[in-house]
Structure 1
């Protein structure tokens, strides 16, 4: 076995670390009890304490650049923690494991490589973490500019689809004609449809470039 094969070989550590990371980002145990709560990324990230009447340091009724600056500050712990987790998983071979597992799924569905699998899973519950991961994948050469464009099109429409549907749309769910499961599935289908429209446009554009050349 040469050096390249040895580097690309995925060990059990890679699969275990990938599995744990997927569980953390999936939100399955967000409402878990006891130690199961520690298997959710949002629970591990925690929340800021309140000053009075349930209001944290951001206050209430803020506007403009100052309010935006405070909101940006709230994202720093989440992003830093996520990047740290991803680096640990990557060092254990988790990204190679993701590539092998997700490639048969993501290639036909979105035309992106399996190495984007962790970002794909995290995009269900966090648009911030998924965007940071996508940026990292592009900068490291794991995905091309076209693949990044397709993936961003998927993420941007209905971002953090599970979290936002449950949290921000909670007042509307009791009067919805469908259960929450079918609603989320329809949203994911629309996200897939939009991403594949972008994929088609990129394919046609690249085809025209080749014909001109």
Structure 2
């Protein structure tokens, strides 16, 4: 009787551990909207929910020049100054992620993204937030991936596959629109189609890495770590 009671308590504890509450879904929705850039170009109050708009800009009114970077060439000083501009973004993102994780956002992400991320990339669903954020910021995506690996939610192979996805055409939405702005007027395809094509190629490249790792582990069974065994 005591053993069955303990088993029921353990089962109930596990069920509560993986149960997603409404707070988890709301916090996941907030992070998805904030990190994806979906409302970045809105002309209403929704714009306030976008991470990059929350960060704001400084320098000239048109945003063309950043005061810290200066003008007139490239060098170590400009590199260090530009690196400093990444600190506020990372700190704000970390605060939002920690708060929403406490509310259950990662559990919700795991439940929502598990089916298609496991199928398309072979990575766990908890990487869903990093997957969403990688559309607009390679820095936030890298930071979240690092945390997932260090907390044991992602093994080394999964991290390698995910890194292969993220850093081919990184921050695809922002970089296509910003860095590729000079080419968009002469492009024969709409910008939306260009972004979709880049994302498809990113998936293809990551799966090349995924299948290579499987092939390598099959040829070298000793390379498989216990945490990576299926």
The aligned residue for residue 65 of structure 1 is 76
Q: CA distance change for structure 1 residues 185 and 206 in 2, over 3 Å: closer, same or farther?
A: same
Is 2:38 the partner of 1:28? yes
The aligned residue for residue 111 of structure 1 is 122
Q: Deviations over 1:55-88 (max 9, x none)?
A: 4122113533322211110000000000110001
Alignment of 1:39-118 (within 5 A): 39-50=49-60, 54-118=65-129
Q: Deviations over 1:145-174 (max 9, x none)?
A: 000000000001000001111111112111
Q: CA distance change for structure 1 residues 211 and 133 in 2, over 3 Å: closer, same or farther?
A: closer
Q: CA distance change for structure 1 residues 202 and 212 in 2, over 3 Å: closer, same or farther?
A: closer
Alignment of 1:1-213 (within 5 A): 2-50=12-60, 54-210=65-221
CA distance in 2, matches of 1:210, 1:196: 20
How far residue 118 of structure 1 moved from its aligned partner, in angstroms, is: 0.4
Is the contact between residue 217 and residue 223 of structure 2 (CA under 8 Å) also seen in structure 1? Answer: no
Give the TM-score normalised by the residue count of structure 1. Answer: 0.94
Is the contact between residue 20 and residue 104 of structure 2 (CA under 8 Å) also seen in structure 1? Answer: yes
Q: What is the aligned-residue RMSD (CA, Å)? A: 1.9
Is the contact between residue 50 and residue 57 of structure 1 (CA under 8 Å) also seen in structure 2? Answer: no
CA distance in 2, matches of 1:80, 1:159: 20
Q: CA distance change for structure 1 residues 169 and 36 in 2, over 3 Å: closer, same or farther?
A: same
- The alignment partner of 1:141 has SS state of coil
User: Please, which moves more after superposition, 79-88 or 173-182?
Assistant: 173-182
- The alignment partner of 2:42 has SS state of coil
Give the TM-score normalised by the residue count of structure 2. Answer: 0.87
- The alignment partner of 1:170 has SS state of coil
- The alignment partner of 1:47 has SS state of coil
Gap regions ≥5 residues in structure 2: 1-10, 225-230
